[in-house]
Amino acid sequence: MTYFGWEMELLRVIQELHTQLLTPVLIFLSWINNHGEFWILTGLILTIIPKTRKCGISVLLAMLFGTLITDLTLKGICARPRPYYYTEYMDGNHIRLLIEMKERELLRSFPSGHSVCSFAAAVSILFYYRKAGIAALILAFLIAFSRLYLFVHFPTDVLAGICIGTLCAVFSCMLTGRLYAGRKGTKQ
């Protein structure tokens, strides 16, 4: 194996999983979170409902922190090319992308923003609501996997995204808890 060793090998194995049934599902799951739309909408809905407002605020804050860390910082600093950039190293087998990527996104692989956003939101939801959080985590894992399946991220991009998103969620839930505790203390 050449350049990225085990990562390219794992991506090659994942490429063999492509089916007519699975491909459109994973393209859709990736698409609903192209700019965080699904999770932003989820956070906004949770924020509007008084009973779930604290959770919604945590979701939106976690995603904001994740965006600041990844899209506005790490992606520019790391400038890691996406896996399809290296397809010439895969025994001459050029991999056809299943989704359209803009040229400016070529050097923005690390970390996976889809994974950061999904795990920031899902872990925040899990912090407040166990059953809904488990469902959100399953969706987050599927979205993260879709990025590997679609050959637009390396496994370490996705793993880093999962870690960053999780840490942002923990920080956001702690911060939201303190803000709410502070509000209760000033009302007395």
Q: Alpha-carbon distance 30 to 158, whole Å?
A: 13
Cβ count within 10 A of residue 62:
33
The answer to whether residue 101 sits within a structural domain is: no
Least confident of 6-10, 42-46, 83-87, 166-170: 83-87
Give how far the C-alpha of residue 77 lies from the chain's centroid of Cα atoms, to the nearest Å: 19
DSSP state of 71: I
Expressed as residue numbers, the domain containing 43 is 6-95+107-182
| Residue 114 within a domain | yes
Nearest-angstrom CA–CA distance, 22 and 55: 32
Residue 100 is assigned to a structural domain of this protein: no
What is the pLDDT at residue 85? 74
Return the residue matching tokens 């965006």: 67
- Here the tokens at position 106 are 């070529």
Model confidence pLDDT, tens digit, residues 73-128: 998 898 888 887 776 545 555 566 666 665 556 668 899 999 999 999 999 999 99
Can you give the CATH number for the domain in which 145 is found? 1.10.606.20
pLDDT band at 180 (very low <50, low <70, confident <90, very high): confident
Q: What is the pTM of this model?
A: 0.87
> Does 48 map to a domain?
yes
The number of domains in the chain is 1
Total length of the chain = 188
In a domain, 74, yes or no: yes
Residue 102 forms part of a structural domain: no
pLDDT, tens digit, 9 for 90 and up, residues 14-37: 988 888 899 999 999 999 988 889
The reported pLDDT for the residue numbered 142 is 97
Average pLDDT of every residue of the chain? 87
- Coil, strand or helix at 3: coil
Question: What pLDDT is recorded for position 46?
Answer: 98
